[in-house]
Structure 1
C-alpha cells in the first residue's frame, strides 16, 4: 500500500484551512493513556479508543521514506490510514509547524532534529507523550533534557562527503578536517546547505562553532566565502545535484551529507565516496505528537510504531540513519562504509537554543550578504 503524500505548500495551506474549520467546532479529546501500535493501551486506566478507520497525517521532511509493506503492516494491524505531508527540509518543517501551530498541519511529526528541536518546543508545538514501546528505553538515551514531548527515533553524523575518484584523478589530497576546507587548494570545491532552511546546514554551522569557538567560527566562514563555498537551500540540492560522485555527475567533489551516505554510493562492490569523520556533528531525529492534533491517540500509535523493530530496521537502507533501537541489526556494509565519528562535534541543546538565531543571522551576513 502506498502512502498518500502531500508535498506542496499549497496543499499544506489547504490542509491548514480545513483543520482550522474543524477546530472551531470540536476540541480533540485528551489521550487516555499510552497507546501501542496495536491500539492497546499500556498502563492506561481506561480502554484505548478504537483506531479502526482513523486517518493520521505524519508531517515530515522531504527525505522521509518507509517501504510500502512496512506502512501496510502498520495500517492493517491498527486500522489506521497513514498520510504524509512533507513541506521541505527540516528547517522549513519547523517554520511551518510554528506558523500553523493553532491549526496543525497533521497529527504527528517525524524528523525534528536536535539542532531545531528547542525552537519548536519553545513555541509549544508538541504535546507531551512518553512511549512504552520496547525501544523507548534506548530512545531515552537521546532525550532532550526537561521535555517529554519528543521521542528519539534515529541518529547519524552530519559530515562532509567527498568524491574519491575526483581527488585521485586530479592529484589532490582530500581534506581531513574542518580547518582544511578553507585552504585555497579546495577553493570552489564544497557545496553546503543554508543553516536557516536546512538541518544538515545548521548542524554543519554548529560543528564549526564547537570546533573553533565563538570568535573563530566567524573567521572560518569568512575564509570559506573567500574560498567560493557554494550554498544551497536543501540537502537534496547539494547532494543529488551538486555532487560530482558517479551517481550524480555534478561539479562539486565535496558536499555536506552524512557519515551514512557512502554505502548508497558503492558501485560493483567498490566505494565511490567517503565521509570526513573529523568534520561531523551528531544529529538526532525525533517524533512528536502535535498539540491540537485531530487524532492524538493515532498519533501516539505512530510514535510507538516508529520505535518498532519493523520501522527501526527500515531506517538504515531507506533513510540512511542509525536506529535508536539496540535490538536492530545494522547492515553489514555499514561497518565498512558508514562508520560513525569516534568524536563527533556536539553542543548542549540549551546553548543551541540560546544562540541559534543569532548564529544563523551572523552566518548569513558573513556568507551570503
Structure 2
C-alpha cells in the first residue's frame, strides 16, 4: 500500500489528484450521529491517495457529502501531522496509516471507534483492530524488489528471486533501497528481513547486503525514478541499478504509463523478497463532520470504490467481491507467501530496529 506510499506504483501516481474531487452537496444525514450540517467531508491522506472523480461524485450523489482531500506528504509525515494536531484534527477521516505505523496512531488515540458497513466482506486477518474498530482496512500491497528485465536478459543472468540471492556475488552493486528511517517501502523492506531472518539474524543479513554494495537513498521517488535502470524516470536519469525496492504492482504502472503500451512489462518482481502492507482509514477524534466521516468510511470499503483503486493507487482491494482490472492481473504479480510481522512485534521493536539498521547500514 506512499511513500508512503505507496504503495508501489502508488508513488508513481502520487503527483496526480485534485484537492477537491466532487461537487458540493447538502448532506441528507448531516443532523445524525453527531455530524455537522456541512456538506463537505475532509479526507486527510498521504500524497498517493487518488480516486476517479466519477466515483467520488457517486459518493456525493448517494450521501450528499462532497469529499475534500488534504494531502500531507508521505505516510509518516502525514501521520506525524495528525499526532501534532490530535483532538483538533485538520479533517474528518485519515487514510494511509499502514501496519508498519499503526501502533503509533492507536497509541496516540487519534481515532474514534466506528464499525464500517460492509466490513463483513473484509478478511478477518486484515482487521488488525477488530475488537475496537478504530481503523478500517482499505487496501493491501506488497513491497518487493523489482528488476530491470532487459539488464538481466542482455547479460544472460537470472534475476534474483529471494533475500538470499541478493547477497550473492553476481548481484553485487546492483540493488538500491530506501532509507528505513524516512521511507515507507524502506521500512517495509527492513521488516521483511526481520520477518525472514528473525531477531538473531536480520542484522547479520544487512551486514552482508551492505558488503554486497547495496545503495541507500532517502525515498522511493529517488530510488525508482533516478537510480533504477528499469523505469521511465530511471532511463531519463541514466540510473544504473537494475534492482530496486518498490512494489509488486509496479510493473502494471510501467505498462499503463508507457506510450505505446508494451505487450509485456519491462520490469519484474522478485517474489521471494516481499512484505505485505495493509493500509487503514479511521474517523479522526474531534472530527467536525462525524456523520460525513462515517459515510466515507462505509464508502471506502464499498465495491465501487474498491474496484476503482487498482489503476489509481495500484493497490489490492480488501473486500472479497471486488474484481481486478485486466491490466492489473495481466502484468501484476500475486505474492503467495509474503513476509509479515505481527503488529504487536512491530510496535515493540520498530524504533530500535530502525536505530540499529541506521547504525549498521548508514555509518
TM-score range, shorter chain: 0.7 to 0.9
CA distance in 2, matches of 1:246, 1:57: 34
Q: TM-score, normalised by structure 1?
A: 0.83
CA distance in 1, matches of 2:90, 2:311: 28
- The answer to whether the 8 Å contact 1:140/1:152 transfers is no
Task: Work out which of the residue numbers 121, 125, 148 in structure 2 matches 1:137.
Answer: 121
Matches within 5 A, 1:1-369: 3-4=18-19, 47-48=32-33, 53-132=38-117, 134-138=118-122, 140-145=124-129, 146-248=131-233, 249=235, 250-266=239-255, 267-369=261-363
How much is the aligned-residue C-alpha RMSD, in angstroms?
2.4
The SS at the match of 1:157 is strand
The SS at the match of 2:199 is helix
Aligned length: 332
Q: Does the C-alpha gap of structure 1 residues 131 and 366 become closer, same or farther in structure 2, counting only changes over 3 Å?
A: same
In the TM superposition, what is the alpha-carbon distance from 1:52 to its structure 2 partner?
Answer: 6.2
In the TM superposition, what is the alpha-carbon distance from 1:140 to its structure 2 partner?
Answer: 4.2
Unpaired runs of 5+ residues, structure 2, are: 1-16, 21-26, 256-260
CA distance in 2, matches of 1:141, 1:211: 20
- The answer to whether the 8 Å contact 2:33/2:290 transfers is no
Match of 2:8 in 1: none
The SS at the match of 2:200 is helix
Q: Does the C-alpha gap of structure 1 residues 225 and 309 become closer, same or farther in structure 2, counting only changes over 3 Å?
A: same
- The answer to whether the 8 Å contact 1:139/1:151 transfers is no
The SS at the match of 2:139 is strand
CA distance in 2, matches of 1:223, 1:95: 33
In the TM superposition, what is the alpha-carbon distance from 1:48 to its structure 2 partner?
Answer: 4.9
CA distance in 2, matches of 1:193, 1:4: 28
CA distance in 2, matches of 1:240, 1:302: 33
CA distance in 2, matches of 1:84, 1:130: 22
Q: Does the C-alpha gap of structure 1 residues 39 and 219 become closer, same or farther in structure 2, counting only changes over 3 Å?
A: farther
In the TM superposition, what is the alpha-carbon distance from 1:128 to its structure 2 partner?
Answer: 0.8
Match of 2:9 in 1: none
Higher relative contact order (CA 8 A, sep 6+): 2
CA distance in 2, matches of 1:169, 1:222: 30
- The answer to whether the 8 Å contact 2:207/2:361 transfers is yes
CA distance in 2, matches of 1:214, 1:50: 46
- The answer to whether the 8 Å contact 1:52/1:78 transfers is no
Q: TM-score, normalised by structure 2?
A: 0.84
**Residues 171-180 or 285-294, more deviating:** 171-180
Match of 1:8 in 2: none
CA distance in 2, matches of 1:83, 1:47: 20
- The answer to whether the 8 Å contact 2:144/2:271 transfers is yes
Deviations 1:161-207 (A, max 9, x none): 11101111233321111122122332322221222222222111111
CA distance in 1, matches of 2:29, 2:54: 22
The SS at the match of 1:318 is coil
